[in-house]
Structure 1
Amino acid sequence: MTPVIQDALVWAPTGGMLAAGALALHYRKKAAQYRTRAGVLQDQAAEAGLRAAEAERGIAVRDEEAQYLAETRLPDLVYALQFGPVGADSTTGTAGGLRHRRLADTVTGKAYLSVLEQVGAVAERASEHAEGAARSAVQAVTRSVQALVYEQQSAITHLLDTQHDEKFLELIQPIDHAASQLARRLQILGVLTGMWPGRQRDDAPLLETVRGGVSRIRDYHRVRVPKESAHYVAGRYVEPVVLAVAELLDNAARHSAPSTPVEVSFLEAHHGISIEIHDAGPGLRAEARDEAGRRLSGEEPIRLTELRTPPSFGHLGVGALAAQYGFRASVDEEHSVHGGVRAVLHIPRALLAAPPGESDTARTRAQGTAAGQDPAPAPRTDADPAPEEAADDAASPEYPVGEDGLPLRRRAPGARQDRSRQTAEPPSPEAGQALAAFVRGTEAARNTTD
């Protein structure tokens, strides 16, 4: 064997071992790389799983928010537009109304806010359109029915002026009273829609203004009014005050027992005069008293489409009149003399007028003062009695009475005639019966104790 072959035989196992070791080292490095890559892939898979779970939660959140929008926020918004805010943030359409606040700055949250704003705008326009249509319809019906009622009242007045039968007058009086109540309700309904009350009057005594309100309610016989008052109401405000007093009296009478009175009193203050109406009813609950105060203030807008069922017009009409003409109305229980409710209608002095005699005297004095001389006495007219006739009247205050019990006509001013001479022809018995019926009706209306 040669030396070369021997060296090859010796080195062959050693080289194989070296080659095997190098190969093992190579595969060990490869395995480490694969393990590292597998770890990275596992981490990526875990991260992808987390992102998938987060996406699923986001989808669930958006689904819940969409369901909340459809089932809660939109119904609350519509309710708030119809009946006022309910106190929930969801009615405002802001981020505070979101069920999940983290969606506030997202595309979804902004989209939901846009939906609420659009729905609110559409509902508001629809509400305004419905309110305008309702007001137009009510005004049209009110005007047409008012014309018929005024015709009816004119016919009744003609009958009362031309007929003198006592039984006939007794039968026609309830019809006239019912017509006046119907006219009052139509006037209040028209006031709620922005219509003018419809009547212009001269300056009237405050007492007669209140009695005008008493005559327009069903239970007028239960109302007790003062016997006198020196105040006058300016003509522009007479009809509004009559309507307001009638509504407050009607409300007091309907909410108290039929056997109890409704008392009216006047309280003069520094800034005006107050008409107080006291009933003996059960009073008001706290929420009803607050609602009555809001309605009587006239500050809240009146929407016919938002009235409750059945609708109540009385306090709303008084509030509308108060806001338009400058007087104030309120209710309370603390100062009621019968433990019920006290309604107060305060009339400022700017709405009052001077009595006719005082205004004429003041005007004459002002003219005389401006001219630098004392005002001359008013010239005596033919209707004024002569001095000697005035003395005769003062000496004999009794009026001559005819055979039928009626006073006889006195002599004309300036004419001399025999006082012992009787009238040529006494009035007819029918005229006396009609006048007697009128006197009895007047006394019954003015009697405050019956």
Structure 2
Amino acid sequence: MTPLMQDTLVWAPLGGMIAVGALALRYRKKAAEYCRHDGMVEAQAADAEQDVAARDEEAQHLAESRLPALVDALRHGTGDAAGDLLHPQLAGTPTGRAYLSVLEQVNALTVHASEQAEGAARAAVQAVTRSVQALVHEQQTAITHLLATEYDERLLELVQPIDHTASQLARRLQILGVLAGLWPGRQREDAPLLETVRGGVSRIRDFHRVQVPNESAHYVAGRYVEPVVLAMAELLDNAARHSAPSTPVAVSFLEARHGISIQIHDAGPGMRPEAREEAVRRLSGQYPVRLTELRTPPSFGHLGVGALAAQYGFSAAVDEEHSVYGGVRAVLYLPRELLADPPSTEGHEPLVPKQSAPSRGPARNALLP
């Protein structure tokens, strides 16, 4: 055997072993790649399951939490309070954008429906208020004519309570109309502050309990006379209704540098903190009045005063710290811009006599209907 044949016989098995090893190594690499691929597939499947679970939880969170929170916030006028995503990683994704679109559409539809309902309620209240005001005006005109043409004391005694009740009804209609967006309905000439306050006194049930100062040199500008009369009447009525019938309601004037304060003191039990906070909020006039959101039964007094204050530039407040009777002090502050210069005294007749009203009924004066 030649050396060449011997080398061939020696290297042939080695070459086969090398080829088999290379092939095994290749298959081993392939197997490892397949294992890695299977791991990636399993990881991707797990991520997909987590993503689906997150989207399902987000949908449930939208239905059970975010949408009810948004509707409740819109109902109470506190703005968009729908809350955030349960899974922040969904923000900016098609799912997150879709859910945000749902909330925006619900918000827009709810606001639109609320505005439509409020507009319909205001239109209805305005129509009813105008029609009833016309009837009350006719009634008061007839009563005024009767009182002016008949001088029987017995008749006067019987008719004056009817006249006073009609005056209170007219005041309530005016306040309701103000809340519905109507003008108070009267244009006055400049009037003495004292007469303006007495005009408010004459429009409440317990007028005889109110103690008014005997004099004041201030005048209220004509544009503001009726709004101030209405605001005074509501604050006086509130003070009288929340204090014992045997106690007085005192009115006083406090002149300040930039205006004058009309103070109303009652001897009632005071106000709970939450009631006082609500009264301050209503009297501020800073929050729009929505007829569709009034509580049941509705309370118009402080809301009406707040609406008048916001529209005509005066302010109203309540506190308990400075009440002379230990009850509540209500303050109506009139800036200088709402006051007028007193007219010349030459040839001027006072609009309201200085004597007090008769005990059987309120004094009728130029401010009464």
TM over 0.5: yes
76, 101, 107: which one aligns with 1:83: 76
Per the alignment, residue 167 of structure 1 pairs with: 154
Could you tell me which residue of structure 2 aligns to residue 202 of structure 1? 189
Contact 2:58 2:87 in 1 (8 A): yes
Moved more, 116-125 or 281-290: 281-290
Matching of residue 35 in structure 1 with residue 28 in structure 2: yes
Q: Secondary structure at the match of 2:358?
A: helix
Contact 2:212 2:250 in 1 (8 A): yes
C-alpha contact 2:164 2:203 (8 A) present in aligned 1: yes
Answer whether contact 2:208 2:359 (CA < 8 A) is retained: no
Whether 2:193 is the aligned partner of 1:277: answer: no
Structure 2 counterparts to residues 249-288 of structure 1, below 5 A: 249-288=236-275
TM-score (norm 2): 0.86
Deviation at 1:89, TM superposition (A): 6.0
Structure 1 residues 177, 446: closer, same or farther in 2, change over 3 A? closer
**CA distance in structure 2 between the partners assigned to 1:322 and 1:72 by the alignment:** 39
- Taking the aligned partners of 1:214 and 1:150, their CA distance within structure 2 comes to 19
What does the per-residue CA deviation read over 1:302-354, in whole Å, with 9 as the maximum and x for residues that have no partner?
22222222222111211121122222211112211122211111122332233
Q: What is the percentage of aligned positions where both structures have the same residue?
A: 68
Among 224, 230, 239, which residue is 1:243 paired with?
230
The answer (yes or no) to whether the contact 2:69–2:82 under 8 Å persists in 1 is no
CA distance in structure 2 between the partners assigned to 1:188 and 1:287 by the alignment: 24
Structure 1: distance between partners of 2:284 and 2:346: 33
Q: In the aligned structure 1, how far is the partner of 2:247 from the partner of 2:157?
A: 25
User: How far is the alpha carbon of 1:247 from its aligned partner?
Assistant: 0.5
User: Which among 63, 74, 79 is matched to residue 56 of structure 2?
Assistant: 63
Question: What's the counterpart of residue 106 of structure 1?
Answer: 93
Question: Tell me, which stretches of 5 or more residues in structure 2 are unaligned?
Answer: 349-354, 364-369
Q: Tell me which moved more, 261-270 or 298-307.
A: 298-307
Distance 2:36 2:231 in 1: 83
Structure 1 position 72, deviation (Å) = 1.4
CA deviation profile, 1:358-397 (whole Å, cap 9, x unmatched): 4889xxxxxxxxxxxxxxxxxxxxxxxxxxxxxxxxxxxx
The equivalent of 1:331 in structure 2 is: 318
Q: 1:317 to 1:137 in 2, by over 3 A?
A: same
Aligned residues: 354
Number of the residue aligned with 1:211: 198
Summarize the Cα distance change of 1:87–1:108 in structure 2 as closer, same or farther, 3 Å threshold: closer
Match of 2:351 in 1: none
- Return 263-272 or 180-189, whichever deviates more: 263-272
Whichever residue aligns with residue 71 of structure 2, its letter is: V
Deviation at 1:251, TM superposition (A): 1.2
What secondary structure does 1:54 align onto?
helix
Deviation at 1:61, TM superposition (A): 0.6
Q: Deviations over 1:23-76 (max 9, x none)?
A: 555444433333332222122111111110111101111111111112211222
Task: Tell me the distance in 2 between the aligned counterparts of 1:63 and 1:358.
Answer: 83
- Report the Cα distance in structure 2 between the residues aligned to 1:334 and 1:220, rounded to whole angstroms: 25
- Taking a change above 3 Å as real, the CA distance of residues 304 and 440 of structure 1, as seen in their structure-2 partners, is closer
Answer yes or no: is the 8 Å Cα contact 2:164–2:362 preserved in 1: no
CA shift, 1:444, in A, is 6.3
Shift of the alpha carbon at 1:85?
A: 2.3
3-state secondary structure, aligned to 1:266: strand
Q: What are the superposed Cα offsets for residues 70-125 of structure 1, whole Å, 9 maximum, x if unpaired?
A: 221122222222212279562xxxxxx11111111212112222222222222222
Question: Which letter does structure 1 place at the counterpart of 2:136?
Answer: V
Deviation at 1:190, TM superposition (A): 0.9
- Tell me if structure 1 keeps the 8 A contact 2:202–2:362: no
1:442 to 354, 358, 362: 358
Q: Which residue of 2 aligns with 1:402?
A: none
1:343 equivalent in structure 2: 330
TM-score, normalised to structure 1, is 0.72
Paired with 2:38 and 2:272, the residues of 1 have a C-alpha distance of 68
Q: Which amino acid aligns with 1:70?
A: A
Q: Which amino acid aligns with 2:218?
A: H
The alpha-carbon deviation at position 185 of structure 1 amounts to 0.6
| Rg comparison, structure with higher value | 1
Q: Out of 42, 45, 56, which is 1:52 matched to? A: 45
Is the Cα–Cα contact under 8 Å of residues 70 and 82 in structure 2 kept in the other structure?
A: no
Q: Is the 8 A contact 2:161 2:361 kept in 1?
A: no
Q: CA shift at 1:283, angstroms?
A: 2.1
Of 192, 197, 221, which residue of structure 2 is paired with 1:234? 221
